[in-house]
Amino acid sequence: MTPVPLVIAHRGASGYRPEHSEAAYRLAVELGADAIEPDIVASRDGVLVLRHENEISGTTDVADRPEFADRRTTKHIEGADVTGWFTEDLTWAELSTLTVRERLPELRPRSAEHDGTGGMLRLSDLLRLLDAADRPVGLVAEIKHAAYFESIGLPLDSLVADELRGAGWAGDERLTIESFERTVLDQVRARGVGARYVYLLEKRGAAADLVASLGSAAPTYAEQLDESSLVGLAADGLHGISLDKTTLIDADGTTDPRVVDRAHAAGLQVFAWTLRAENAFLSKAHRGPGGRAAQGHHADEFRALMALGLDGVFADQPELAIAVRDTL
């Protein structure tokens, strides 16, 4: 029997409101999402804040704020030079003065109409929002750039563990913790945080923590998807893997169930990211007329992916994924 997948609102209802904003999170709850996925980074003073990346010029008004002009800098993060403004260079008091904006205004102009109407949030703010919801809504907390933050004296494992424990979320059945880095998952679990632990894997490249420790000998993400590696992940206590959808579906819309089947055989749940309705994000076979920003034949792609037996999907427009799930 095909599992009924959870629908996880990716950075909130980010197809309609600027990602990681209070409006995006509240709308995701209203639209029926089973869980919300925030990305977690840290401020200079160790406050956990919710941004897709620690570089924030694309998702806030920081570049327009003259008082922060001198904070613009270039850093080498996970093998790439990145220029902009970074959460770790501003205190929470400074970050809290910024307003959020749509990251993809050319694709989501209606979301961009909400630019400037909300501020950045902390993890603690989202936990309170979920605790106040009128139904149980899960949290799928993604820890970002853990090896990098560790290297600059901001250990996300201890910061996250302390935050969750203090808020009463450590051991809460609503909690899942995920990362592209195995090391931080093991570290948070070692700190006694009860949760489902999920390893994120991209289609290409290798995990930053493994590259930092092993260099060119680091296994790629793809190499960690063979049978023995998946069995090893389960034996190490992980509960699932989360895959780039292009690992499972190609440009012509053909799906490949083999990774899902191997992971399930190893005792792991399987999630996929990210389901988005716009043509720009759909497989070529599922694109429709109207250009990149128009919604294509998204239901066909969503259904094909869910038919693989996924345990959960991440979606920018959660109600569209729910509508397809309800037809399975």
Instruction: Evaluate if residue 2 carries a pLDDT over 80.
Output: no
Q: What percent of the chain has pLDDT over 70?
A: 99
| Bridge pairing between strands 138-143 and 35-37 | parallel
User: Is 145 part of a structural domain of the chain?
Assistant: yes
CATH of residue 259: 3.20.20.190
Instruction: Evaluate if residue 166 carries a pLDDT over 80.
Output: yes
126-143 mean pLDDT? 98
Q: What percent of the chain has pLDDT over 90?
A: 98
Instruction: Return mean pLDDT, the chain.
Output: 97
Instruction: Evaluate if residue 132 carries a pLDDT over 90.
Output: yes
User: Is 264 part of a structural domain of the chain?
Assistant: yes
How many structural domains comprise the chain?
A: 1
pLDDT of residue 232: 97
Instruction: Evaluate if residue 45 carries a pLDDT over 90.
Output: yes
Instruction: Evaluate if residue 84 carries a pLDDT over 70.
Output: yes
39-57 mean pLDDT? 98
67-95 mean pLDDT? 97
User: Is 182 part of a structural domain of the chain?
Assistant: yes
- Within 10 angstroms of residue 35's Cβ, the number of other Cβ atoms is 22
User: Is 1 part of a structural domain of the chain?
Assistant: no
177-190 mean pLDDT? 98
pLDDT band at 107 (very low <50, low <70, confident <90, very high): very high
Instruction: Evaluate if residue 19 carries a pLDDT over 90.
Output: yes
Helix 318-325 vs helix 298-306: crossing angle, to nearest 10: 60
- Within 10 angstroms of residue 205's Cβ, the number of other Cβ atoms is 15
10-14 mean pLDDT? 98
pLDDT of residue 270: 98
291-309 mean pLDDT? 98
Which pTM does this prediction carry?
Answer: 0.97
User: Is 226 part of a structural domain of the chain?
Assistant: yes
3-state SS of the chain?
CCCCCEEEEECCCCCCCCCCCHHHHHHHHHCCCCEEECEEEECCCCCEEECCCCECCCCECHHHCHHHHHHCEEEEECCEEEEECEHHHCCHHHHCCCEECCCCCCCCHHHHCCCCCCECCEHHHHHHHHHCCCCCCEEEEEECCHHHHHHCCCCHHHHHHHHHHHCCCCCCCCEEEEECCHHHHHHHHHCCCCCEEEEEECCCCECHHHHHHHHHHCCECHHHHCHHHHHHHHHCCCCEEEEEHHHCECCCCCECCHHHHHHHHCCCEEEEEEECCEHHHCCHHHCCCCCCCCECCHHHHHHHHHCCCCCEEEECCHHHHHHHHCCC
User: Is 13 part of a structural domain of the chain?
Assistant: yes
pLDDT of residue 1: 62
pLDDT of residue 3: 74
Which structural domain, as residue segments, surrounds residue 89?
6-325
Between CA 191 and CA 268 the distance in angstroms is 22
User: Is 60 part of a structural domain of the chain?
Assistant: yes
User: Is 50 part of a structural domain of the chain?
Assistant: yes
